[in-house]
Each structure stands twice: as C-alpha cells, then as structure tokens.
Amino acid sequence: MADAPDTERQAVEPDAREVLSVSQLNDRIASVIQNTPALNGVRCIGEVTDLHQNSTALYFTLTDGDAELPCMIWANRYREMDAGLEDGTEVILEGDIDYWVEGGKIDLKPWEVIVVGDGDQAAAVERLRSELEERGWFDDEQKQQPPAFPERVGVVTSLRGDARYDIQNAIHGQDPTLDILVKDATVQGSNAPTSIANGIHHLDRSEDVDAIIVGRGGGSDSNLQAFNTERVAEAIFTANTPIVTAIGHTDDRLIADQVADVATITPTAAGEYTANSREEFIASEIEPMEQQLETAYETFQQEHEHEQELAEAVDEAAAPEGLPPIYYKAAIGMLLLLLLIITALWLGVL
Amino acid sequence: MANDSAIHDRLSRVEEIIEQLDADDCDLEEGTRLHDEGQELLAEVREILDEGSGDVVEIE
C-alpha cells in the first residue's frame, strides 16, 4: 500500500483527532480490502497445511515455506469442487481476499481449486522420515531414560516465548530446588534448524545438565517445520544427555518427537515429566519407609527385651537359695581344719 | 549430576536393614545400630531432595 496514489491514500487517511471503536476501524479495513481490485480474483500457489473441517466450512493454511495465508471454503462449495484436499497437497487457488470484521482476520476465499500434486515440503519430510527410520534413529534401543531426580535441566526454546515460562513453572511446581538453564533459540523460520541444533549441542556440552527439553508452543505445520529437519534430528540423536521434546501440537508426528528419548505434547507436560514431584516422592516413598523402619525396630526390640527378661528369669531360677557357694566352701574348709586340730590334739600330736 | 543413584542406594540399604530387623538375626545392640543407620540414611535422602536453589540461568 506504500505506493498507493494520493487520492486513494486521502480516502482512507484517518483524521488525526478521530478515535474509532474497534468495529469502526475493522469496517474501514474491510472496505479498503473490498475496494482494492488487486485483492479480488487473485491466483495463488502453495501447499495446504493445518486442514480441518466442520459441517459449515473447510479451513486450512496455504504456505510456500516462508509465508502463510489462512483460507476458508464453505462446505457446500467444497463438495461441488471435488478437490480432495489433504495436508501437503500443492494447489493453485483462485478467489477473493476477505476480511472478517468481527474477528479482525484476513483470509482467502477461493472459488476455484486446482490440485497440482503432493507438496514438495510434505514429500521431503516423508522421505527424511523413511531414511531416518531405516538408519534406526527411531528405535527404542536408542532411547535413554531421563533421570528421575535431575539437579539441573536444560531448555532450548525462545527466551521470549510462552513455552519457556510454561516449562519453568511446571518444573518448579514439581520441584522448586531444580536449577534451569535456558538456551535461547529461534524456533521458526529458515534459521530455526541451525539455532535449535546449536542450542542442543551447547547444553549437551554443559556440565551437570541432566536432561534437555527442546520445545516451543503450538503453531501451524509450517511453523513447526524446523522440528522436521535432519539438522535438528541429528542434534537430538547424537546428544549424550536425554532429550525430551515439548512441541505444542496435536495431530502430525514430528520427526524430532520420533528421535527424542521422550516426546510430550506440550511444554507444561515436558516440565512435569522431567521434574519429579518432591512432595509426592516424600509422601509415597520416604514417609512409608520411615514408618516401616520404626515398626520393624519396635517389634525387634520387644522380642529381644522379652528374651532378656526370660534369660534373667532362668538365671534366677537356676541359682540355689541361701548363701552364695563361697560361704559354704569356707565353712567346710573351717570345719575340716577344726577336725584336723581336734584329731591332732587327741593323738597328742600338738 | 542427577541424584538417582545417591537416593536409590540409600533407600536400598534401608530396605535391607528393615529385612534384617524383621528376620531378627542379630542381637539387641546390633539391631539398635542398624536402626540408627536406617534413620540416618533416610535423613540424608531428605537432605539430597532439599539441595539446590532453583536458579534460572538464561543463555543468549
């Protein structure tokens, strides 16, 4: 719109002092779009992603890998088209750019769909998936179990993303004593694969990082493409530290998830998985064991005290009544001596 | 380093002590010494769980 002629620009230039409601501004945007010939009857080529349908309409995103455009086709019109769209289908769409005033969203409403073939991107991902599967990168034998009691957890994600805070809050909700090392990474776009892979390598080399969470919040299929690249898959596969993926998505399997030691469906789930609940562990393991130890010792002590009492009683019962034996021996000795003296006197020896 | 082995080793030893006390195959003095050892090990596990400051470090 930067090169719009002056007359057109004046027509839409707002009065500097005018304060519009959201509805008024959205109406103004809609009228600009509707009255711009360049946005009517456009033809656009791209790949279908994030396709979902309800009884009213078919929704999907058209992407060329670098940019995206939301699209919508009414269900009855789509039935007439007989296009058979799927995620990854490459299409040429012809239609109008439309602006949804209540939601403040722009989309392309095609009236014609020409299927070109399977999308290059989708086909490339499937080829890579097959190749890595053949190499054994998805095998269970390759997977490491993250520790139950880590001291420090590494996180590779955008420092400014919600995912980072979801992971942090989930970890510290389980165990407030855990240290967290967050490595900033670009998680979408052409630089993302290198950035994510470098983040994994960096934390993997760090001392005392016991597990690494790699993740981001949800997004469209094309936003998540970095997690379908060999670069990221290799960084995960070659890491010595157990890797937990935390990519907010629900439908398609990402290659990163398949290579990871553990795949979780959201950043929060990854945080909760990686950090054991300290309180829960104390309540379920430590306290019962303390109780068992005390019970075992009390029983043991009672047994032994009983035995001791019994032994003392036996000793007591075995002992003869009256004076101790030494007195009797002394008395016998004295009597024998007396007998000797008497005998000696009687024999006149003394 | 993760604390798995430090915690696991201590809890295993406490289990052994409980078994020895249950089996009743030592004298009272030895049993008392085992009980004290078990209590000490469980206190150490709690200390291990309390270690760490929960720091968050950002790396640009």
- C-alpha count within 13 angstroms, C-beta hemisphere, residue A181: 19
The residues facing A182 across adjacent strands are A155, B58
Domain extents for chain B?
Answer: 1-40
Predicted TM-score (pTM) of this structure: 0.66
Hey, are the CB atoms on B27 and A178 less than 8 Å from each other? no
Q: Which residue has the higher pLDDT, B24 or A256?
A: A256
d(CA B17, nearest CA chain A) in Å:
8
- C-alpha count within 13 angstroms, C-beta hemisphere, residue A234: 9
- A176 chain-B contacts, CB cut-off 8 A: 54
Which three-class secondary structure state does DSSP give residue B51? coil
Instruction: Give me the pLDDT at residue A165, please.
Output: 95
Number of neighbours of residue A99 by Cβ within 10 angstroms = 18
Interface with chain A: mutation pick from B7, B50, B57, highest number of A CBs within 10 Å: B57
Q: Residue A222 corresponds to which tokens in the numbers above? A: 């094309």
Instruction: Give me the pLDDT at residue A302, please.
Output: 87
* Arithmetic mean of pLDDT over chain B: 91
Q: Closest Cα to residue A30, out of A101, A95, A90?
A: A101
Vertex A245 angle, CA A127 and A138, to 5°? 40
Interface of A with B in 153-192 (CB under 8 A): 159, 168, 172, 175-184
Instruction: Give me the pLDDT at residue A9, please.
Output: 43
From residue A284, give the alpha-carbon distance in Å to each of A54, A278, A280, B6. 46, 10, 6, 18
Residue A301 in contact with residue B28, Cβ under 8 Å? yes
| A187-225 burial code (b ≥16 CB/10 A, e <16) | bbeeebbbbbbbbbebbbebeebbbbbbbbbebbbbbbb
Instruction: Give me the pLDDT at residue A252, please.
Output: 64
Size of interface A-B (CB pairs under 8 A): 105
Low-confidence ranges of chain A (pLDDT < 70): 1-16, 117-119, 249-252, 318-324, 349-350
Residue A247 in contact with residue A268, Cβ under 8 Å? no
Instruction: Give me the pLDDT at residue A1, please.
Output: 39
CA dihedral over A27, A28, A30, A35, signed as positive or negative: positive
- B17 chain-A contacts, CB cut-off 8 A: 293, 296
Summarize pLDDT for A308-326 with one digit per residue, the tens. 777 777 777 766 566 667 7
Instruction: Give me the pLDDT at residue A333, please.
Output: 85
**Secondary element (H or E) of residue B57:** strand B56-59
d(CA A240, nearest CA chain B) in Å:
14
d(CA B57, nearest CA chain A) in Å:
5
Considering only the beta carbons, identify the residue of A147, A184, A304 that sits closest to B60: A184
A301 interfaces chain B, CB cutoff of 8 Å:
yes
A233 phi and psi, to 5 degrees? -60, -40
Classify residue B47 as exposed, middle or buried by CB count within 10 Å of its CB (0-12, 13-18, 19+): exposed
